[in-house]
Amino acid sequence: MHDDLSPLCGRFLAAADLLGRRWTGVILRILMDGPRRFGELAQGIGTISERVLSERLKDLEAEGIIERHVDPGPPIRSEYRLTQKGQDFWKVIDELGKWAERWVELKPAPAPAQAPARSVAVKAARATPRKRKTA
Amino acid sequence: MHDDLSPLCGRFLAAADLLGRRWTGVILRILMDGPRRFGELAQGIGTISERVLSERLKDLEAEGIIERHVDPGPPIRSEYRLTQKGQDFWKVIDELGKWAERWVELKPAPAPAQAPARSVAVKAARATPRKRKTA
DNA sequence: GGCCATCACTTACTTTTAGGAAGTTGCTTG
DNA sequence: CAAGCAACTTCCTAAAAGTAAGTGATGGCC
């Protein structure tokens, strides 16, 4: 199997828990391109609610992954940017992006008689309730 | 900044949405070490509820990331293992682990004294409510 | 054969988190 | 002074996760 995986310890659990909150990965991905303001993030993600964006930003700031800079030059604007800890996350985001490019199909193959993967049809692009199972 | 990040497209959103569900990363991390049974995963994670583990496993199977093999050899046992798509997720998990090693501090040591070796089956400890903010 | 135990899940019910949208604050523009 | 941003909050509802108890197919033991 794989030889040098980090052990499953508390550290990993904490990191997975962080990324396990909805939108965290996407926010980080956007900030990898440079500082962004609240509204830009909201627009960039498109389907996140402002309530949650605000919450996530606070979480990330509390973790020391991003920093908030308020520019009071009259039109008060705040800007979020990655700290070194956040910058360092880029490889995770990059690998996730590569995996997505390789494996995520944007269109659910109708009848893959022998196709290997069924793939995650881009349902994430909508403000999806993630799954609408009435069961 | 970083030069070759994959663009923020639907594929990335879908992948981030997948990892954005609690426990997904941890389950994948454990399966990277080889096939595991339901109970082993439950124990390995420790604080996941069986209800959610079952759900997550179904999700992952539906995405074609893991496969479920039922071994009916009398003591009926099921085993979960990664598909190629799942194996390929290795680098993401690995980078996440490395980042965690570098940046995550195990600060809140809520060690209830130092229990001798009560080890397993101690369900007494409630699963982390992720944050118990009274504010 | 009756009884308890294990494994792999379900079901029923509760708490936490996320989504939708309107409201707030501070300042600018018409 | 009404209107409009930007950046958040607040309120209320809808999903997701947590907790515990139950189910069904063995298998052991006495």
List of residues 6+ apart from A126 with CB closer than 8 A: A47
- CATH architecture for residues A10-91: Orthogonal Bundle (1.10)
| Separation of alpha carbons A86 and A61, rounded Å | 10
Alpha helical stretches, state H, B1-135: 10-19, 24-31, 38-45, 50-62, 84-87, 90-103
Distance CA B3, CA B25 (A): 26
- Alpha carbon B44 to its chain centroid, in Å, reads 9
* Higher pLDDT pick, A33 / B127: A33
Domain ranges of chain A: 10-91
**C-alpha span between A3 and B61 (Å, rounded):** 24
For A16-66, write each residue's pLDDT tens digit. 999 999 999 999 999 999 999 999 999 999 899 999 999 999 999 999 999
- Between A131 and B55, where is the model more confident? B55
pLDDT confidence of residue B4: 60
Per the CB < 8 A criterion, the answer to whether B38 and B78 are in contact is yes
Protein footprint of strand D, defined by Cβ closer than 7 Å to any strand atom: A 37-40, 50-51, 54, 57, 68, 75-79, 129-133; B 21-23, 47-52, 55, 74-76, 123, 126-130
DSSP string, A18-59: HHTSTTHHHHHHHHTTS-EEHHHHHHHH-S--HHHHHHHHHH
Q: Which of B22, B29, B91 sits opposite A12 (nearest CB)?
A: B29
Topology of domain B10-100 in CATH is: Arc Repressor Mutant, subunit A (1.10.10)
Of the CA atoms within 13 Å of residue B84, those in its CB half-sphere come to: 7
d(CA A104, CA B11): 6
- Residue A93's identity, in one-letter code, is I
* Polymer length of chain A: 135
Mean pLDDT of chain A: 82
